[in-house]
Amino acid sequence: MPYSKNPNLIEKDTDTGLLIFDTRSGRMMELNATAKLLWKKSNAKFEAEDLKKIIQDNCVSVKNLEADLADFIKNALKHGLVSENGED
């Protein structure tokens, strides 16, 4: 399934991850270092397989990869950071 990043976001790097502020909803979310890596290296439109490749190319351990990616996408959808079907 394709996903699209919300175009109304402001990003701020932190020592431990990334803060993302949605200017439309007023919500903010903090990403940990792994989620920050996924966010920064993914395109505006992406699929779960793209995220899997980012992890495989950049991380040593991929033990719980499928579950971790599903959790990342679920939380990104919940907080309005992305939308399903590649729609802005």
The pLDDT of residue 21: 96
Partners of residue 36 on adjacent β-strands: none
How many CA atoms within 13 Å lie on the side-chain side of 13? 3
22 assigned to some structural domain: yes
Q: Does the residue 25 lie in any domain?
A: yes
Could you tell me if residue 52 is inside a domain?
yes
Domain count within the chain: 1
The pLDDT value recorded for residue 61 is 65
Determine the structural domain holding residue 73 and report its residue range. 2-80
Domain-located, residue 86: no
Is 85 within the bounds of a domain?
no
Residue 9 lies in a domain: yes
16 belongs to a structural domain: yes
Question: Looking at residue 60, what is its pLDDT?
Answer: 59
- Quick check: is 87 in a domain? no
- Pick the closest to residue 49 from 66, 63, 61, 31 (CA basis): 66
pLDDT tens, the chain, 88 aa long: 899 999 999 999 999 899 999 999 999 999 988 889 999 999 899 998 998 888 888 875 667 777 788 888 898 899 988 998 766 5
